[in-house]
Amino acid sequence: MKNTLGLLLLVVASFAFLSPDLNMEIKTAYTVDSLGACQGVSYQKGRIFLYGDREVGMIREFKMDHDSLVYLHKEIKLTVDGKDVINHPTGLAVHGNDPVFIGNSVRLNPEGTLWKAIIYCVNWEGLQKTGTLDGNLFNTIEDDTCIQGCRPEYVQYKNKWYVATADYGEKTNEVRLYDPAVLKTTQKTSAKGVLYKKFSCTPWVQNLCWIPEKNLLLLIQNQVEGRKWRFTYVDLAKSIESGKSEVIKVVDTNRPDELEGYTFSGSLNKGIAVSSSRKNNVTMMDVSW
């Protein structure tokens, strides 16, 4: 009886750890135009940057006004000499004075089974001033370590910042951490010294969101390929140490479209989710911990 009670307490404790009082609630959804299919969102110093794949890859700047986004009439076209370069932006990694990286996933066949992933090191300040990549593209890096696509995001591990990225495949998916100091000058991510650590993760990761206050990495996912929203919170440190995702909480919603990105809007209780839909592509969410 004593052993049974002890086992029961252990199971309850484990369940409590895996299911903390974390809840995400959809509040309002509305349409933001001129993005093409929105591919992600980034919060930086009170500003919201939405990026998408219109006639060219582009980034637009907004500010929060209560539960709405207000366009600031600032647009970046990810072109050089008018030619589309980052046509399908899939991640924007910005942290302090560290190098800034933008991901790109290039479809190599109509079926979408073959992809080429590229990471660009850019002059973020220059991009915002001139509105194009002309003179602001530092380096182009083939992400040949990836399995399918890339989605760079800065994360912190053992007091050092790394560029994390993940795959959008059905199986053998990974989260990988790259050394930004090496990444910014290399030609391929398979080069010596680029990859620091990696761990396996579940399928259909569209983007990543680092939560430094909680030391958690949020995997922004689909429940099935290209459809239905899923948010998976993982313990980054434990995942790196074990080599597989150490999941804290999975939150699924009933939204049927393709979740592409998510960020917290200056508070851990308010979030912004974006989808590739033409309508209701921006959604405000309340989060309780």
CATH code, domain carrying 97: 2.120.10.30
Asked if residues 179 and 136 have their Cβ atoms less than 8 Å apart, the reply is no
Does residue 256 sit within a domain?
A: yes
For 99, which DSSP code?
A: P
From CA 205, how far away is CA 166, in angstroms rounded? 7
Does residue 193 sit within a domain?
A: yes
From CA 21, how far away is CA 191, in angstroms rounded? 42
Tell me the percentage of the chain whose pLDDT exceeds 90.
84
How many Cβ atoms from other residues are within 10 Å of residue 267's Cβ? 8
Predicted local distance difference test score (pLDDT) of residue 108: 75
**Range(s) of the domain holding residue 123:** 24-288
Predicted local distance difference test score (pLDDT) of residue 8: 34
Predicted local distance difference test score (pLDDT) of residue 17: 41
With 0-12 CB in 10 A as exposed, 13-18 as middle and 19+ as buried, what is 264?
middle
Does residue 16 sit within a domain?
A: no
- Residue position matching structure tokens 């609630």: 25
The encoded tokens of residue 129 equal 């001033």
State pLDDT tens for residues 1-25: 444 334 333 333 333 344 568 999 9
The alpha-carbon radius of gyration of the chain (Å, integer) is 19
From CA 246, how far away is CA 209, in angstroms rounded? 16
Predicted local distance difference test score (pLDDT) of residue 4: 37
Does residue 78 sit within a domain?
A: yes
Could you give phi then psi for residue 276, rounded to 5 degrees?
-85, 0
Asked if residues 40 and 277 have their Cβ atoms less than 8 Å apart, the reply is no
The encoded tokens of residue 224 equal 């099935």
DSSP three-state, residue 255: coil
Does residue 9 sit within a domain?
A: no
Residues 6+ apart with CB under 8 A from 87: 53, 56, 57, 78, 104, 106
Quote the longest CA-to-CA distance of the chain: 76
Does residue 60 sit within a domain?
A: yes
Does residue 247 sit within a domain?
A: yes
Q: What is the pTM of this model?
A: 0.91
| Amino acid, single-letter form, for residue 64 | M
Domain count, the chain: 1
Does residue 160 sit within a domain?
A: yes
Query: Which residue ranges of the chain lie beneath pLDDT 50?
Result: 1-18
